[in-house]
Amino acid sequence: MVPHFRPLNRRHIMPPKILISACLAGFNVRYNASSKTVIDTTLQRWQAEGRLIVCCPELAAGFSTPRPPAEIAAAANGAEVIANQARVIDALGEDVTDAYLLGAHLALDTARLHGCRFALLSDRSPSCGSQTIYDGSFNGQTQPGSGVTAELLRQHGIEVFSEHQIAALIERVQLVE
Ligand code: SF4
């Protein structure tokens, strides 16, 4: 007997999932125990549909809240940290590079586990920053660049957006839905 296969149509294709920084999702997980909650009706719908995968790379790596802030030293960026050409240093002078790399790899594992093609990450963070990061001086100076997690996700084909690019993210997601 010939098995009967129903043709795939759009209803059989899983809608894309989106990895989201826990602090953007409303959790008080930042270094100073605050959040950066974003309010958006499309994000709320995605959340109701189970399409937002919440992740905090730093907590996943074992940091607690609150914790000393950290920056990528010497105006370097996440790509240089991954290439072992730069370090992440916290405000007490502690080298926390290994933990930041661990957090990035755990975030990548989470994204892969859930099939996330997109990520919405909190900008300026040495982990999640995707457009802007601090320059390592701890003087509030920023520079264009990516944090360690955002960079690693991009290197593995995940499209990363910051909270300033929600409209662009929604447009991209709708294109592949
Ligand atoms: S590591 Fe990312 S998710 Fe966690 S507090 Fe920092 S910016 Fe938010």
**154 neighbors 147 (Cβ within 8 angstroms):** no
Distance 40 CA to ligand 1 centre (A): 19
* Nearest-atom index, ligand 1, CA of 122: 7
Distance 140 CA to ligand 1 centre (A): 17
Q: What is the pLDDT of residues 111-134, one digit of tens each?
A: 999 999 999 999 999 999 999 999
Can you give the pLDDT at residue 177? 86
Structural element, H or E, at residue 72: strand 70-72
d(Cα 81, Cα 98) in Å, to the nearest integer?
Answer: 10
Q: What is the DSSP letter of 95?
A: B
d(Cα 165, Cα 131) in Å, to the nearest integer?
Answer: 10
**Ligand 1 neighbourhood includes 56 CB (under 6 angstroms):** yes
- Residue 2: pLDDT over 90: no
Q: What is the pLDDT of residues 27-71, one digit of tens each?
A: 999 999 999 999 999 999 999 999 999 999 999 999 999 999 999
**114 neighbors 121 (Cβ within 8 angstroms):** no
Q: What is the pLDDT of residues 137-173, one digit of tens each?
A: 999 999 999 999 999 999 999 999 999 999 999 999 9
**Ligand 1 neighbourhood includes 23 CB (under 6 angstroms):** yes
Structural element, H or E, at residue 55: strand 52-55
The predicted model scores a pTM of 0.93
Can you give the pLDDT at residue 14? 81
